[in-house]
Structure 1
Amino acid sequence: MHTPNAAAAPCAPVKRFLAYMFPNGHHMPEHKPEGEGAGNQWKLPRMLASMEDLKSELVFVSGLENQHRRREFGDHAIGCGALLTARKPTKNRQFTNMSVDQIIADAQGDCGRIHSLQLGTHNSGPSDQFGTYYTRNISWRGPSEKNEDGSMSFPAGPATPLGKEIDPKRAFDRLFAGNDAEASAAQAAMRRALKKSVLDAVVPHGGWLQTRLNAADRAKVDELFTGIREIERDLESVDAGPTCTPPPEPTDIESFTQQLDYMHKIMAVAFQCDITRVITFMMGDALSNRNLSFIPAVKEMGGDAGDHSVSHHSGQDSLERKFRAMTLWKMEQIAGFLRHLSKLTDFDDQPLLNNTLVWISSEIADGNRHNHDDKPILLAGRLGGLVTTDRHVRFPTSRDYSKVKTYGDFFITLLSLYGVRVNEFGDDGKEAIVWQS
C-alpha cells in the first residue's frame, strides 16, 4: 500500500496532466455543444451524453485550428504529430518541437517517481507518408531554451518520440513490481517517526532558552517553536491521508476492452500514488483500423467494422450510423475513466480529478472530412482551482489565418498554468488565449 506524497514544497501544489488521444476523429454533426457560456447556457452534444453527470467538471473548447492551412495527403500523421506540439511533422524525419506533456513534466522536476508515463493499446499506425513515429506517438523530446526574460522557447529541431507501453503486465511491473504493501506502510510510518523524533529532541530546549533570553530574542524563539509545531501537525496529517492500492496484477487480459479498462485503472492509481504527474495515453494509433465489431450496435449492422475505414463513410447512411456507434462507444469509455478519477480520493480528501487536468482530443476533427479546423478539445478537471469548469468556450472560426486561434495559442495558456512562460509555441502559437476561466 502506498501513501501519496504530501503536498509540500517544491512539489506543491499538486498539478497533474493527462493527454488522452482517441483515433480517427469525431462524429462532428453530433459533437457540437448547444449554446456557449457557463452552466445552463450550454448543453453537452449527443456524442457526450454519457458524460452528463460529469458536466460540472468539463470544459468544451471549440473553434481552434491545428495545421489546417498545411493540409496535404497524410492528414492522420499531420494531426497526430501536431497534437501536442502544434507543429506540422517533417516527412520521414524526426524533426519537431517538444510536446507540451514533456514541458509540463520538466516543470514538475522530481515530483513523482517517474518523470512521465506514455501508455497506449497497440503499435499499428502505418506511416501515412510521414513515418510511423508520427502515427504511433504523441509525446516528443526536443530542444528547449531559456530566454533572458525568463520565458522558455521550444524551437523545432531533432526530436525523439518517446514511444508508449502497450503491455499491461509490463506497465504494471514498471509501476509496482517489488511493492510490498505492508512494508511500504511500515517504511512510511518509520520515516514519520524519525522526523518527529528530531523535532522532539529540539522542542524540550525551548523552556531553558526562554529563561536566558531578552524579550526580542524570546519572541524569535517562540516563532521558531510555533513553526516546529506546525511541521508536526503536517506530519500527522500525512498519517491521516488516503492510501492507494495497486490494481491486481494483470493475468487474464485477452481483449482490447479488457486492456483498455486495465490501462484506465493503472493510470488512475499512478496519479493517486503520486508515481507520476504526467501521462499521455493513446486509445489507438492514428490511422488505426482496429476491428470494432465487438460493439453491439456495430455488430448488429454487420459488414466492415474497421475503425479507420468506416470513418470514411462519405455520407452513406449505413456507414455513418456505424461510425456514430463507434465514436459513441469511445466517448463512453472515456466517460467511465473520468468517472473513476472523480470517485478516487486525493491527498487533500478531494476527488482525484480536482487536482488534475485531462486533455482529450483526436488527431483530426471530423473523421470523414479529415479537417483540422474547428477541432474540438474536451477538458476535465479543475487543476486545483486554476480551471473553471462547466463551460463551453467557443472561438470564432475564420478564413483569415491572421484572426484564427490555434492549438499553439491554447498551449501557451496551458503551459502558464503549470508555471512555464512561453511567448510562442509550435507553428502558430503567438498569444495566450482565455479558456481556463
Structure 2
Amino acid sequence: MSRWTRRNLLRGTLRGSAVAVSLPFLDLFLDGNGEALANGLPLPTRFGTWFWGCGVNTSRWFPSKLGAGYDLKDELRPIAPWQDKVTVFSNFNCVLDGRPNLVHWSGVMATLSGAAPLKGGVNGGTSELPTIDCLVADYMGQSTRFRSLELACTGQSGVSYSMRAGSTVNPSEVDPVQLYRRLFGPGFQDPNKAEFTPDPAVMLRKSVLSSVKDDRDELMRTAGAADRQRLEQYFTSVRQVEQQLEHMLEKPAPAEACQLAKEPGAMALGPTWDVATRTHDVMAQLLVMALACNQTRVFNIALSNAGSNLRKPGDPVSFHELTHEEPVDEKLGYQPRATFFIERSMETFASLLKHMDGIREGSGTLLDNSLILATSESNFAKIHSVDNLPILVAGRGGGRWKSGQHISGNGDPSSRVGLTIQQVIGMPVNAWGQGAMEVTRPITEVMA
C-alpha cells in the first residue's frame, strides 16, 4: 500500500525547521476503483488580449478597403487616432469541421487557443489547448514579477479567457484597489532606485520550494503514469514559481517610463455600463504602469463575459438580451440599442490604446513595443455566427509587425493570427492549433 495519501505534504528542512508544500489531487490517493535599455538589453515586447462580448454589425465595423489606409466604418471609428498602429483582420473563421457551434464560446476559444472547443456555452466552457497568452507567458514571462495579469471589468473573477487547458481558468482581478496593492504594494521594487534590498519573505518562499526536492523525487518514482503527468504539470508550475522568485531576488533593470502609481479609491463594481468602463479605465492605467515598470509582459482584459451582461443604468435588459430580442431597425439596418454597446466597446478599447501610446519608451511608445490581440466570440451575435470573426491587433511589436493594414483571410482559420503573433514575438513554433484549426502558414503581410 502506498504511503502517499491526500493528507501528505512534500516535506523538507529549512534552517533546522520542518517545511511542507501541498500536493494536487492524484489517482494514487484513491483506492483501486478510481530597442535598448540603459543596461544594453533590448526593450521588451509586451503581449495582451482584449475581449468584448457579443460581436459587431458586419457592415458597420469591417473596412471595405484592404491594405494600408483602410476606411473606418462607424463602429470602428474610435480607433482613428491610432489607425496606423492597428491591424484589422476580416474573413478569418472558427472552422468547426463537425464540432458543435457552442454559442458565445466556440469563436473566442478558436481564436485564442487554436482549437474549436467541445464543451461550453454562454457561461463558459473548456479549452482543448492552452490559450495563446499562456504560451507567450511561458516564453517571455519568467523574467518578470508576474507571468501575466488577468483583469475583468464587471466584478466577476471567473470572467477570464486565459486557460491552460480543460476547464482551468486563470482568474481575473476585478477590484482596482486590490490590483494596485498587488502590483505596487509591499512587494514592489522600484527599478529606478539605486539601492536594492531583497525581500526576506521571497527568500524564505524560494528556500521552502527547494527544500522539498527529495520528497518530490520519491513521489515521482512512486506515482503511476496518469499521476506522473499531473505531477509534471504541477511541478512545472512550481518550477515557474521558483524562477519568478529567483527574479524577484535580483535588482530589477532600470525602466525609464516607470513611475509609482497612486492608489485608487474604493469603487463600486458590476456590469452597469458606467461602472464597468470606469473600472476598465482605472485598471488600464494601473496595468500600463505595471508594464512600464516591467512587472509583467503579458496581460488579458475582459470587458465583459461572452454573453455580455453589460447594461445601461436603470435598464434591466442586458446587451446580450438585446442582441436577441431587439428587432433590426428597417431604416437603420441594425439594432440601435444593442449597437450602443458595440460602439462604446470600441471607445473603451481605444482608451487603452491612448494610455499605452502615452508612455514613451526609447524612440517610440509602450504601444509600439506591444501586440494586443482584440477579439469577440461572434460576428453577429443575434445568430451566433462564427465566420468572419472581428479581430484587431494593435501595436508594432517593437518594429517587427507591419501595422495599419486591413487583411482578409478569405475564410482561413482565425488561428493564423495567433500563429503569426507567436512567430513575430520570436517563439520557435511552425504550427499551431488542432484539427481543422491547425495552421502552418503565418500572415506574412504583417511580418516586418
TM over 0.5: yes
Cα offsets for 1:326-366 (capped at 9, x unmatched): 111111111111111111122x2521111011111111111
Given the superposition, is the C-alpha separation of residues 188 and 70 from structure 1 closer, same or farther in structure 2, using an over 3 Å criterion? farther
The unaligned stretches of length 5 or more in structure 2 are 1-35, 197-252, 270-274
Match of 2:32 in 1: none
Match of 1:328 in 2: 343
Match of 1:114 in 2: 146
Which structure features the higher share of helix residues? 1
Q: Secondary structure at the match of 2:172?
A: coil
Q: Shift of the alpha carbon at 1:179?
A: 6.4
Give the RMSD, CA atoms, in angstroms.
2.9
Q: Secondary structure at the match of 1:62?
A: strand
Match of 1:401 in 2: none
Question: Paired residue for 1:85, among 96, 108, 113?
Answer: 113
Does 1:270 find its partner at 2:302? no
Preserved CA contact (<8 Å) 2:258 2:289 = no
* Identity %, equivalent residues: 23
Q: Shift of the alpha carbon at 1:117?
A: 0.9
Cα offsets for 1:229-287 (capped at 9, x unmatched): xxxxxxxxx87933322143332446223212112112211111111000011100111
- State the alpha-carbon separation in 2 of the partners of residues 250 and 62 from structure 1: 41
Question: Paired residue for 1:413, among 413, 420, 444?
Answer: 420
Question: Paired residue for 2:376, among 353, 356, 362?
Answer: 362
Question: Paired residue for 2:442, among 422, 433, 437?
Answer: 433
Match of 2:173 in 1: 165
Question: Paired residue for 1:140, among 148, 163, 171?
Answer: 163
- State the alpha-carbon separation in 2 of the partners of residues 96 and 17 from structure 1: 22
Q: Secondary structure at the match of 1:335?
A: helix
Question: Paired residue for 2:405, among 365, 369, 391?
Answer: 391
Preserved CA contact (<8 Å) 2:55 2:381 = yes
Q: Shift of the alpha carbon at 1:109?
A: 4.5
Match of 1:291 in 2: 311
Match of 2:232 in 1: none
- After superposition, where does 1:26-425 map in structure 2 within 5 Å? 26-39=56-69, 42-70=70-98, 72=100, 74-91=102-119, 94=126, 96-122=128-154, 136-142=159-165, 158=166, 160-178=168-186, 184=190, 188-190=193-195, 241-253=256-268, 255-293=275-313, 305-312=317-324, 313-316=326-329, 320-346=335-361, 348-397=362-411, 405-425=412-432
- State the alpha-carbon separation in 2 of the partners of residues 333 and 240 from structure 1: 27
Match of 2:244 in 1: none
Preserved CA contact (<8 Å) 2:115 2:128 = yes
Cα offsets for 1:369-401 (capped at 9, x unmatched): 21111112111110110111121111223xxxx
Given the superposition, is the C-alpha separation of residues 323 and 239 from structure 1 closer, same or farther in structure 2, using an over 3 Å criterion? closer
Preserved CA contact (<8 Å) 1:20 1:361 = yes
In structure 2, give the amino acid aligned to 1:430.
V
Preserved CA contact (<8 Å) 1:354 1:384 = yes
Given the superposition, is the C-alpha separation of residues 305 and 76 from structure 1 closer, same or farther in structure 2, using an over 3 Å criterion? same
TM-score (norm 2): 0.69
Preserved CA contact (<8 Å) 1:20 1:359 = yes
Larger Rg: 1
- State the alpha-carbon separation in 1 of the partners of residues 337 and 394 from structure 2: 27
Preserved CA contact (<8 Å) 1:17 1:101 = yes
Question: Paired residue for 2:53, among 3, 13, 23?
Answer: 23
Preserved CA contact (<8 Å) 2:141 2:148 = no
Cα offsets for 1:281-318 (capped at 9, x unmatched): 11001113222247xxxxxxxx7641101112452459
How many residues align structurally?
342
Match of 1:130 in 2: none
